[in-house]
Amino acid sequence: MLRSSIRMVAGLACRISPTCGPQAAVGRRPLLPSALKPAANATACFCQSKQAKDYALPNATWSQDMMTQYNKFMAMSRDGTWKRLPSYRHIVEHMPERMRQEHKEKINRETRLFLRNMDVEGKGFEYVMFVNSSEKRVVCVFQPGPYLEGPPGFAHGGCIATILDSTFGGCAVVFGGRVMTANLTINYKNPVPLGSVVLVDSKLDKTEGRKLFISGQVRSADGETLHTEATALFIQVVPQTSPQQPDCSE
């Protein structure tokens, strides 16, 4: 599960602004029942593209449980305790313009981020992440769609590992910068029903040099069912530098 987490590093330079999220995008989606309307506008700004679609905003496939959890965290965002993290389809949309120019020759715009690769909403990974800087936590509200099936009626264990790695990785990036997953240990307790809503709760436990130790759980939205426990180790990526050339002038 090694992977570079540059997708959110760009935001460290401009986080966290409560007014920079494209909340107006909600209005362009199918109308939601009044009871499910999203709460206050509070977003962690990770240098989004003005044209990019933010997939961490409500859509018509979100269940009432999903909207309830979303509104709860948005309400807690009013005082700045929590911040919503935007989410885009392509890694380039998470980069500031300076980084786009630096990496433009390496950027492949034909690719998509794994969790945002579906063209139809609600079929795969529906999720939104919130960060609490004071507690060094990132919580993901996750609704697995029907294309993530493993055992009949339940989410595949691999998709649970994916959302854990992404949530833990988001936590590591926010509090540690550029990182890669070194180890992810998962204990599956109870299967996750397709279409249900679970909370993936991650916390930075400690850092040792370039090592970041993170732990967390996957629980049902009501907190009654423990689905998964996990721990992870992430390693901060040290930028490569050109080796010093020997002095051959003598």
Say which CATH number the domain at 140 has: 3.10.129.10
Q: Band of the pLDDT at 42, cuts 50, 70, 90?
A: very low
Above 90 in pLDDT, residue 194? yes
Task: Pick the most confident of 2-11, 102-111, 234-243.
Answer: 234-243
Q: pLDDT (tens digit, 9 = 90+) per residue, 229-249?
A: 999 999 999 876 544 544 444
Residue with tokens 């933010």: 54
As a whole number, mean pLDDT of residues 184-196 equals 98
**Domain range enclosing 168:** 6-236
3-state class (DSSP) for residue 227 = strand
246 part of a folded domain:
no
146 part of a folded domain:
yes
137 part of a folded domain:
yes
Neighbours of 121 (CB within 10 A): 15
223 part of a folded domain:
yes
Least confident of 86-95, 139-148, 150-159: 86-95
| Strands annotated E in the chain | 83-85, 125-132, 137-144, 179-188, 198-208, 211-220, 226-236
Above 90 in pLDDT, residue 63? yes
68 part of a folded domain:
yes
- Cα separation, 54 vs 10, whole angstroms: 16
Active site positions, annotated: 165
Name which residue leads in pLDDT, 131 or 239.
131
User: Diameter of the chain by CA atoms?
Assistant: 79
- pLDDT above 70 covers a percentage of the chain that reads 68
As a whole number, mean pLDDT of residues 67-95 equals 90
1 part of a folded domain:
no
Domain count within the chain: 1
CA atoms lying within 13 Å on the CB side of residue 187: 8
Query: What is the distance between the terminal CA atoms of the chain, rounded to a whole angstrom?
Result: 49
